Structure 1
Amino acid sequence: MTQSLVGGLQPPYYTAVFTSIRPDDPEGYAETAAKLNALVEDIPGFLGHEAARTPGGIGITVAYFRDLDGLTAWQHHPDHMAAKRYGREHWYESYRVHIGKVERTYGFDREDRENHEDRQGRQNPEMPHDRDVVDDRD
């Protein structure tokens, strides 16, 4: 599972959100996932991914791509296609894939908060910022 969040991406970019239901630790899954994680990093336009799973059930993986060409290249990668076929036959009870174009992004990191804003809440001019960033302090 992902232990950090993907950040610092400049929109627009694309996401592939893969939601699934499968048992915990099915045979061969971890090895296949590790192989695919290494392969996707070589796809031009791949920006990163995040994943989480509830015990005994629902999993969500979000993959980020600069453009649809990169996302399509991953979709049609032979090893990825083989893993999808195997997963339908052996691992998954069900899954969904949602493809989206990200127009706007913002976030929060506790350790960066003090460096990003002064005490009056103004953005620190030394920190990069985007006009689309929303102040989510409330």
Structure 2
Amino acid sequence: MTPKLVADIEPPYYTAVFTSVRTETPEGYAETGVRMREIVGGIPGFLGYESARTPGGIAISIAYFRDLESLDAWRLDSEHQAAKARGREHWYDSYSVHIGKVERSYSFERE
């Protein structure tokens, strides 16, 4: 089965690009990830997400939001803030966050 990409979103919209390198301490990481997907999925204006991990250990997650208000609702969510603090304490050696406004977008899918 081919993974499904987030596509066909009418611009403008916003992205939150999270790149990270994890530690060797995964306790609670997977469960927290499931919970974060539940929370962000309930935010009005959340459009979807994609993620990937390189063999070398760099992870990239991109979340798509209709507007800055919905992105801020995610950023300010108390459970998300607690997960970010736990990530800094236990799960990440480093990470970067990049916020962008998408003004043009297109996609291709083989039939």
Which interval holds the TM-score relative to the shorter structure? over 0.9
Pairing 1:35–2:51 present: no
Aligned pair in 2 of structure 1 residues 45, 27: CA closer, same or farther (>3 Å)? Answer: same
Which residue matches 2:11?
11
2: CA distance, partners of 1:82 / 1:98: 20
Q: Percent identity?
A: 63
Which residue matches 1:68?
68
What secondary structure sits across from 2:92 in the alignment? Answer: coil
* Residue segments in structure 1 that go unaligned for 5+ positions in a row: 112-138
2: CA distance, partners of 1:6 / 1:15: 12
Counterparts of residues 110-125 of structure 1 (less than 5 Å): 110-111=110-111
Counterparts of residues 45-60 of structure 1 (less than 5 Å): 45-60=45-60
Greater strand fraction, Structure 1 or Structure 2: 2
What secondary structure sits across from 1:64 in the alignment? Answer: strand
What displacement does 1:25 show? 7.4
2: CA distance, partners of 1:53 / 1:39: 22
TM-score (norm. length: structure 2): 0.93
Which residue matches 1:89?
89
What displacement does 1:55 show? 3.2
Stretches of 4+ moved more than 4 A in 1? none
What displacement does 1:63 show? 0.2
What secondary structure sits across from 1:71 in the alignment? Answer: helix
* Residue segments in structure 2 that go unaligned for 5+ positions in a row: none
What displacement does 1:27 show? 1.3
Higher RCO, Cα 8 Å, sep 6+: 2
Aligned pair in 2 of structure 1 residues 25, 55: CA closer, same or farther (>3 Å)? Answer: farther
- Larger Rg: 1 or 2? 1
Aligned pair in 2 of structure 1 residues 107, 24: CA closer, same or farther (>3 Å)? Answer: farther
Pairing 1:78–2:81 present: no
Corresponding residue pairs, total: 109
TM-score (norm. length: structure 1): 0.76
